[in-house]
Amino acid sequence: MKTILLRGGHVVDPANNIDAINDVLILNGVIKAVGQNIDVTADIDVRDCTGLIVAPGLIDIHVHLREPGQEYKEDLASGLGAAAAGGFTAVACMPNTAPVIDSAPIVRDLVTRAKDVHKARLWVIAALSKGMKNTELTEMADLKAAGAVAVSDDAYQVQDPLFLRRAMEYAAMVNLPVLLHCENTTLSEGGVMNEGLVSTELGLKGLPREAYELDVARAGLLAMLTGAKTHILHVSTRGEAELVRHFKQKGAPLTAETGPHYWCVTDEAVQGYNTHAKMNPPLRTSDDCAAMAAAVADGTMDAIATDHAPHADYEKTQEFALAPFGIVGLETSLALGITYLIKTGKVSWTRFIDAMSTQPAKIIGVAGGTLTPGAAADVTVIAPDVTWVVDAASFVSKGRNTPFDGVELRGRAVMTIVGGEVVHG
Amino acid sequence: MSTKPLAGCDLLGLKGLDRETLGHYLTTAAEFEKIIKRDIKKVPTLKGKSVITLFYENSTRTRTSFEAAGKYMSADVINISGSTSSTTKGESLRDTFLTLQALTADCIIMRTPFSGAPEQAAAWVDVPVINAGDGMHEHPTQGLLDAYTIQKVKGPLDGLKVAIVGDVAHSRVARSNVWGLSTLGADVHLVGPNTLMPRDISQLPVTVHNTLESGLAGADVVMVLRLQLERMSKALFPTAREYHMTFGINEATLRYAKPDAIVMHPGPMNRGLEIGGDLPDGHQSVICQQVTSGVAVRMAALYLLLGADGIEG
């Protein structure tokens, strides 16, 4: 394994309060030193990082890699490759696969095979209930022993509050974070886009924001009651952000994430029945976009996660109501943050990297998110000013379902290093 | 406007159509109404053209109206219903449209429960697509025939007060009429229970009411929407009885409108529910005229979109 020196980059390492020009020395797969003018010997691979951002490896804790069972949408190689191409050194995959990731052997299989891909690291999120059917708990202790880092029923959100209470109590006992897609599905029944003026004009059933806000309130109360580490997935509305803020102030063990599309695209993108603008939670309004940017800035949204959800083209080429929810995100996430949060002055680099790396690692309780000497050398090098145009056809991911195809963005990962190995760039 | 300004276009909705275009449809429809009132109402206008109706929902009135419109202009009309199409075998809508185009259809007329499907399909094929009603979105030929009927009876729409009453939330007829009538200068009012009004509807160019007394005050036109009884199971209204008491249009409630107001209904009607038992047969009703207008309007649409050379062929 080569020794690498990242020379003269702007190092942003929120965990160590570093935000300055520095060299980063990587030796034997770990961070050896961060400092000024580190000496080089002949056999060191020196990379000039002048004008570039050097950050702890980005981590996306909410992706769908579709294995096992739906490899036509994505597989470990394409998904972890897409992650590396997007600057992510690790991702956490959701369990809504076929079969559902609800038993230890499936977790072990994924963990083992992901290592052979030699791209981004994989962390596995197991189901909260067997088959994600919300009726029986999974064997959480065994799942954890097999390597699962969290439990979630994601979009198959538990509606029964007693079952959710029990699940959270049990998860707290085995110290697994509970990741919740907050949606009251009675109130949102049949909806396919944000409920508002656009859904009224288009004659599409709405997903009212209140269905999501109501369930965030339930999650906050149950987090206080059970003490479970509770993480709110993909927050999309101003009201949800306010509720998260409220429960954090009360001391609830609560964290939250939002996704890039929620701060830069509104439900107007659905006009023309664009199925690449269909996801759940749905795109909201410009007021919600502003609220999401502010909630990232002030830390109410601890993390940024994409909910990367690849689908085959033919699945998205259907009547709007029949097309599946979800868009891909791994290869556009970083640039959407740089373009719409950093270049607009809404969020600092330190907070952005904190939300893209440091906090995600903390939320799922894994190593990473820091350049502390001795830590595994997971590093992302970012060209912050480069301008590029999204070309979905050239994605490493099998999914081309993005509303950003053809959009010009700023900033891109130019090198992704995992455990001291360059896996992209 | 050029001589064939709409040739090759689709008719997907009335939203976004300007006053001139709407006027063009209505003026052309008037010419076709003359033809269908003749003793021999067949002209060779679309001889050699094939028109396919693709209906994924039950419809008698609209499908027959389109079929008659095509046949009166000598087009070959082929009717496909949802149950006879390949969708029951799992074929996608896009593949269905590509197949119909390959069958050399000159126009595809579509009725679907899925909002937006005609707009999506229009992007997949080159032939004109006519939306014959899509989910809760639009029913543009209904909107045109309603505007045509009102104009015929009441004169220019500018300043006329039109009250649309009932299940606005689920109604594509309401949406097409909101766009069409407001663009043509009418003052559009929506009346119905809160449970049947979609979110943010008041941001459209309309005034929203939840009593007939305020909604119908001074109305020149009272347009009654069909109410589907199965909505009761969703707690959208308590009983048919209470609905008729609060939002049913009958001789008593019609008095809130102007004395010479006309009553319209897109059909099929539930007599005794959204509309009083005898009202459709009364002197203020123009419901049967709407049906005749429908044929004329659909002839105009086919004629204009297919770019035929002259009304008489």
Give yes or no for residue B313 having a pLDDT over 90.
no
Q: Specify the DSSP class assigned to residue B288.
A: H
Q: With CB atoms and an 8 Å threshold, state whether B137 touches A200.
A: no
Q: Is A249 on the interface with B (CB under 8 A)?
A: no
Cβ contacts of B179 within 8 Å, gap of 6 or more? B13, B14, B15, B16, B17, B138, B143
Give the model confidence (pLDDT) of A396-412 as tens digits. 999 999 999 999 999 99
Cβ contacts of B219 within 8 Å, gap of 6 or more? B161, B162, B163, B189, B256, B257, B258, B261
Question: What do you get for the CA distance between the two ends of chain B, in Å?
Answer: 21
Split at pLDDT 50, 70, 90, the class of A121 is very high
Q: What is the rounded (10 degree) CA torsion for A346, A349, A354, A358?
A: 160
Q: With CB atoms and an 8 Å threshold, state whether A202 touches B198.
A: no
Cβ contacts of A422 within 8 Å, gap of 6 or more? A4, A415, A416
Give yes or no for residue B1 having a pLDDT over 60.
no
Give the pLDDT of residue A2: 82
Q: Chain A residue with minimal CA distance to B15?
A: A201
User: Nearest 5°: phi and psi at B160?
Assistant: -70, 140
Strands B187-191 and A408-418, by their bridges, are unpaired
Q: With CB atoms and an 8 Å threshold, state whether B93 touches A208.
A: no
Give yes or no for residue A304 having a pLDDT over 70.
yes
Bridge partner list, A387: A410
Instruction: Find chain B residues with C-beta within 8 A of A318's C-beta.
Output: 92-94
Give yes or no for residue A234 having a pLDDT over 60.
yes
User: Where residue A285 sits, what CATH number does that domain have?
Assistant: 3.20.20.140
The pair of structure tokens assigned to A374 is 């001795």
Catalogue all structural domains in chain B, each as residue range(s) with its CATH number: 19-137+293-305 (3.40.50.1370), 140-291 (3.40.50.1370)
Q: Is A271 on the interface with B (CB under 8 A)?
A: no
Q: Chain A residue with minimal CA distance to B122?
A: A272
d(CA B1, CA B23): 12
Q: Which residue in the set A200, A318, A322 is minimally distant from B198, CB to CB?
A: A200
The answer to whether position A370 is within a domain reads no
Q: Which residue in the set B120, B199, B204 is minimally distant from A273, CB to CB?
A: B120
Interface test with A, best of B199, B203, B204, B236 (most A CBs within 10 A): B199
Instruction: Find chain A residues with C-beta within 8 A of B85's C-beta.
Output: none
Q: Report cis status (omega within 30 of 0) of the bond before A373.
A: no
Q: Is A319 on the interface with B (CB under 8 A)?
A: yes
Interface test with B, best of A202, A207, A287 (most B CBs within 10 A): A202
Q: Are A288 and A262 in contact (CB under 8 A)?
A: yes
Q: Is A208 on the interface with B (CB under 8 A)?
A: yes
Q: Chain B residue with minimal CA distance to A317?
A: B94
**What three-state secondary structure class fits B45?**
coil
Split at pLDDT 50, 70, 90, the class of A366 is very high
Residue B199, CB half-sphere, CA atoms under 13 Å: how many? 16
Q: What is the mean pLDDT of residues A334-344?
A: 98
User: What is the ipTM score, two decimals?
Assistant: 0.96
Give yes or no for residue A102 having a pLDDT over 60.
yes
Instruction: Find chain B residues with C-beta within 8 A of A203's C-beta.
Output: 115-116, 134-138, 172, 175
Instruction: Find chain B residues with C-beta within 8 A of A272's C-beta.
Output: 119
Q: What is the mean pLDDT of residues A341-362?
A: 98
Give the pLDDT of residue B2: 57
d(CA A122, CA A112): 10
| Alpha-carbon distances of B238 from B190, B195, B196, B229, B269, rounded to whole Å | 20, 11, 12, 11, 20
The pair of structure tokens assigned to A48 is 């000039």
Give the model confidence (pLDDT) of B31-54 as tens digits. 999 999 999 999 999 999 999 999
Q: Which residue in the set A199, A317, A321 is minimally distant from B94, CB to CB?
A: A317
Chain B: give the shortest CA distance to residue A212, in Å. 17
Give the pLDDT of residue B88: 64
Bridge partner list, B55: B81, B111
Q: Are B89 and B83 in contact (CB under 8 A)?
A: no
Q: Which of A312-316, B116-120, B308-312 has the lowest mean pLDDT?
A: B308-312
Give the model confidence (pLDDT) of B115-153 as tens digits. 999 999 999 999 999 999 999 999 999 999 999 999 999
Give the pLDDT of residue A412: 98
Q: Are B120 and B96 in contact (CB under 8 A)?
A: no
Give the pLDDT of residue A313: 97
Q: Are B44 and B69 in contact (CB under 8 A)?
A: no
Q: With CB atoms and an 8 Å threshold, state whether A319 touches B198.
A: no
Q: With CB atoms and an 8 Å threshold, state whether A273 touches B112.
A: no
Chain B: give the shortest CA distance to residue A319, in Å. 5
Looking at the structure of chain A, the number of domains it has is 1
Bridge partner list, B188: B162
Give the pLDDT of residue A369: 98
Q: Is A197 on the interface with B (CB under 8 A)?
A: yes
Cβ contacts of B127 within 8 Å, gap of 6 or more? B101, B105, B106, B107, B108
Q: What is the mean pLDDT of residues B160-185?
A: 98
Chain A: give the shortest CA distance to residue B123, in Å. 10
Chain A: give the shortest CA distance to residue B59, in Å. 19
Give the pLDDT of residue A176: 98
The answer to whether position A392 is within a domain reads no
User: Nearest 5°: phi and psi at A203?
Assistant: 70, 30
Split at pLDDT 50, 70, 90, the class of B229 is confident
The answer to whether position A44 is within a domain reads no
Q: With CB atoms and an 8 Å threshold, state whether A201 touches B15.
A: yes
The answer to whether position A10 is within a domain reads no
Instruction: Find chain B residues with C-beta within 8 A of A201's C-beta.
Output: 15, 175, 204
d(CA A78, CA A96): 18
The answer to whether position A398 is within a domain reads no
Q: What is the mean pLDDT of residues A287-305?
A: 98
Q: With CB atoms and an 8 Å threshold, state whether B172 touches A203.
A: yes
Buried/exposed code over A172-196 (b: 16+ C-beta within 10 A; e: otherwise): beeebbbbbbbbbbebbeebbbbbb
Q: With CB atoms and an 8 Å threshold, state whether B134 touches A208.
A: no
Q: With CB atoms and an 8 Å threshold, state whether A321 touches B204.
A: no
Q: Would you say how long chain B is, in residues?
A: 313
Catalytic residues of A: 307
Average pLDDT over chain B, rounded to whole? Answer: 94
Cβ-Cβ contacts under 8 Å between A and B: the total is 65
Give yes or no for residue A213 having a pLDDT over 60.
yes
Q: Which residue in the set A197, A272, A321 is minimally distant from B200, CB to CB?
A: A197
Give the model confidence (pLDDT) of B241-295 as tens digits. 999 999 999 999 999 999 999 999 999 999 999 999 899 999 999 999 999 999 9
Give the pLDDT of residue B44: 96
Q: Chain A residue with minimal CA distance to B123?
A: A272
Give yes or no for residue B87 having a pLDDT over 90.
no
d(CA A414, CA A88): 11
Q: Which residue in the set A203, A272, A314 is minimally distant from B115, CB to CB?
A: A203
The answer to whether position A386 is within a domain reads no
Q: Are B13 and B131 in contact (CB under 8 A)?
A: yes
What does the angle CA A110 – CA A111 – CA A113 come to, to the nearest 5 degrees?
65
The answer to whether position A346 is within a domain reads yes
Q: With CB atoms and an 8 Å threshold, state whether B116 touches A319.
A: yes
Structural domain range at position A123 = 56-363
d(CA B99, CA B86): 10
User: If contacts are CB pairs under 8 Å, which of residues 365-394 in chain A contact chain B?
Assistant: none
The answer to whether position A295 is within a domain reads yes
Q: Which residue in the set A203, A208, A314 is minimally distant from B135, CB to CB?
A: A203
Give the pLDDT of residue B266: 97
Q: Which residue in the set A199, A200, A320 is minimally distant from B114, CB to CB?
A: A320
d(CA A163, CA A155): 16
Give the pLDDT of residue B312: 81
Q: With CB atoms and an 8 Å threshold, state whether A204 touches B201.
A: no
The pair of structure tokens assigned to A338 is 């740089």
Residue type, A175: N
Give the pLDDT of residue B86: 62
The pair of structure tokens assigned to A192 is 């396919």
